[in-house]
Amino acid sequence: MIDYFVKTAIGRSHVKNDIVCQDFSEVYHDEQRTIMAVCDGHGGEIYVRSDRGSKFACDAVMNVLKEKHHLLLYRVEKADFINRIKLEIMCEWNKLVEQDLSKHPISIKEVAHLNEDKQFRLKVNPTIAYGTTLNAVMVLGNRILCVSLGDGGLFGIKRGNVTPILFEDDEETVANITYSMCQEDAFKHLNAEIYDLSDFSTIFLCTDGVVNPYQNLDNFSKSFIFPVLKLFKEGNREKIDQFITDLGLTLGIGDDVSLGILSIDK
């Protein structure tokens, strides 16, 4: 039985500075599949449209994965299937960005606060304006597809153990932020893997506004994952919803926060 919860809340730093929420989250469910994505637009001064970038990243995942049939998992070699998914998600995100730029070119007003060098960077490559991370999961048939680029993360839970999924232990960053969909080599850093349905009972998807206040995996597991999972199993969605709102506005580091929970208990 599939069950799920998803929530995005604005952070107090963005409320204080009158900045729109940069996170976006989305879920899709039908008889064949469940897809969930949480994305974190960078929000730095050069990323003037990262709130749109995060939405486009979620939309790209949904648009690509809704069309996949479970038989593809058996007819195509695993590595070929993963590379195809990665390429299609990147192409779809870039298509959505290009469509937006075609309809709404970046205006002088949007970049007036930037120095000359940053304005030139956006003129040469306006896709930078949409910089975002991506964390997503799909349950299809008896398989789980996980996709990740950038910080935040996916965490699999089974029998009381928490396992980071697709965690890239690499100190390289983009503009001192994270890997991004707007990088020219984004495909290289977009990770994907297929797991068996039995590998995890629940998967948590989080942007870094959720993860960072807890400093390490042990504290994150004890102070966040297990208490929230308990509320989820009890059906207390209202408390989870309020907790995520409070994490953004008062309890956390002031960043936007997004949480997705996908339960695949059988």
Res 186: pLDDT:
95
Burial class of 28 by CB neighbour count within 10 A (0 to 12, 13 to 18, 19+): middle
Res 173: pLDDT:
42
Res 181: pLDDT:
97
Burial class of 125 by CB neighbour count within 10 A (0 to 12, 13 to 18, 19+): exposed
| Domain covering 3-263 in this structure, CATH number | 3.60.40.10
171 confidence band (pLDDT: 50, 70, 90) = very low
Token pair for residue 229? 């999972």
Res 174: pLDDT:
42
Cβ-based neighbour number of residue 26 at 10 Å: 21
Mean pLDDT of the chain: 93
Q: Which H or E element spans position 217?
A: helix 217-220
In the predicted model, is pLDDT for residue 167 greater than 90?
A: no
For 87-132, how does the pLDDT look when each residue is reduced to its tens digit (9 = 90+)? 999 999 999 999 999 999 999 999 999 999 999 999 999 999 999 9
Token pair for residue 190? 């977009």
The residue extents of the domains of the chain are: 3-263
At what angle are helices 50-65 and 78-103 packed, to 10 degrees?
140
CA-based nearest residue to 46, from 152, 151, 150, 123: 123
Res 168: pLDDT:
62
Rounded mean pLDDT of 65-77? 77
In the predicted model, is pLDDT for residue 56 greater than 50?
A: yes
266 confidence band (pLDDT: 50, 70, 90) = low
Res 72: pLDDT:
67
For 197-240, how does the pLDDT look when each residue is reduced to its tens digit (9 = 90+)? 999 999 999 999 999 999 899 999 999 999 999 999 999 999 99
Token pair for residue 266? 């059988």
Res 172: pLDDT:
44
Rounded mean pLDDT of 174-198? 87
